[in-house]
C-alpha cells in the first residue's frame, strides 16, 4: 500500500511553497524546544546508542540535524521530495543523510531495514496528519524499522489540540500566518483520537514502554505574543514479546 496521490501532492505543494528560513513553518521549532526535550525522554531506552536513527517524516530537517550530533548515523526521510531538498540545502556540511521515502509503500521500510539493521526511530507529529487508511501501515513500518532491538519515540497531537487549532483557524482575522498554509494545502492536523495511536502500535506488535504528555511547541504566537503550544502525547515503543 502507498499513500494516496492527493495526500502526496498536498505535502509536495506545501513544502514547495514553504520559505527556506528557519522557523517559517509552524512546527519548525528550534531543537531546544523539540528534539532536545524528546531525546531526554528517549535516551534511557536506547541502550548503548549505537544503532542508527531514522527521523521519520523529517520535513526540512531541523530536528534531524540536531539528532545527527548525538547518534553515529542519522537518516532523515520524508514523503515529500521538496522537503528533502529543503533539508539538504540546510545541511551543507552533510551532518545527516536525507532521502525521500514513502514509509507505507510496499517493501520501502523493509528495504531500509535490510540496509541499516535494527534502528531507532524518531517521529514527531506524523501519524495525526496521515490519511486514515495509511495509519496502520505507518505503524507497521515503524515496527519493521525497529526490528527486534530498536526503539521508537513518537510524539503526536492529542485530541485536545483539535479545538485549539480550529479556534485559531476561525479567529476574526483568519488563521495565524504560519497556520494558514496548513489548511490551505488540505492538511488535517489533530485528526486522530487519543486511543487510536497505541491501538495502531499494538497491532504492529509494538509495546508502549513509556508515555506522557508534553506540548508540541510551535513557531507561531498568539495575539498576546505568547508562543502557541499544542497539547500532545509522547510514547516510547519497542517490540513486544
User: Which structural domain, as residue segments, surrounds residue 33?
Assistant: 3-238
pTM for the structure as a whole: 0.94
Q: What is the pLDDT along the chain (241 residues), one digit of tens a residue?
A: 455 667 788 889 999 999 888 889 999 999 999 999 999 999 999 987 789 999 999 999 999 999 999 999 999 999 999 999 999 999 999 999 999 999 988 799 999 999 999 999 999 989 888 888 889 999 999 999 999 999 999 999 998 888 888 888 777 777 778 888 887 777 766 667 888 899 999 999 999 999 999 999 999 987 788 888 999 999 999 997 5
CATH code, domain carrying 109: 3.40.50.150
Domain count, the chain: 1
- Supply the DSSP string of 42-98, one letter for each residue: HGGGSTTS-S-EEEET-TTSHHHHHHHTTSS-EEEEES-HHHHHHHHHT-TT--SEE
Measured distance CA(9)–CA(7) in Å, rounded: 5
Amino acid at each position: 500500500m502507498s499513500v494516496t496521490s492527493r495526500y502526496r501532492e498536498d505535502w509536495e505543494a506545501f513544502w514547495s511553497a514553504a520559505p527556506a528560513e528557519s522557523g517559517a513553518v509552524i512546527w519548525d521549532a528550534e531543537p531546544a524546544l523539540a528534539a532536545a526535550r524528546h531525546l531526554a525522554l528517549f535516551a534511557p531506552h536506547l541502550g548503548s546508542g549505537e544503532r542508527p536513527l531514522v527521523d521519520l517524516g523529517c520535513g526540512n530537517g531541523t530536528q534531524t540535524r540536531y539528532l545527527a550530533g548525538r547518534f553515529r548515523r542519522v537518516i532523515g526521510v520524508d514523503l515529500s521530495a521538496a522537503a528533502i531538498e529543503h533539508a539538504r540545502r540546510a545541511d551543507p556540511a552533510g551532518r545527516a543523510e536525507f532521502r525521500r521515502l514513502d514509509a507505507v509503500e510496499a517493501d520501502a521500510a523493509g528495504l531500509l531495514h535490510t540496509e541499516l539493521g535494527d534502528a531507532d526511530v524518531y517521529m514527531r507529529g506524523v501519524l495525526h496528519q496521515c490519511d486514515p487508511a495509511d495509519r496502520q501501515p505507518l505503524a507497521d513500518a515503524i515496527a519493521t524499522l525497529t526490528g527486534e532491538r530498536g526503539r521508537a519515540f513518537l510524539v503526536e497531537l492529542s485530541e485536545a489540540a483539535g479545538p485549539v487549532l480550529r479556534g485559531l483557524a476561525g479567529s476574526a482575522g483568519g488563521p495565524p500566518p504560519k497556520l494558514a498554509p496548513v489548511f490551505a494545502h488540505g492538511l488535517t492536523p489533530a485528526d486522530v483520537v487519543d486511543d487510536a495511536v497505541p491501538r495502531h502500535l499494538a497491532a504492529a506488535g509494538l509495546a508502549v514502554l513509556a508515555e506522557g504528555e508534553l506540548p508540541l511547541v510551535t513557531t507561531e504566537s498568539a495575539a498576546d505574543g505568547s508562543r502557541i503550544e499544542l497539547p500532545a502525547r509522547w510514547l516510547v515503543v519497542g517490540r513486544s514479546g
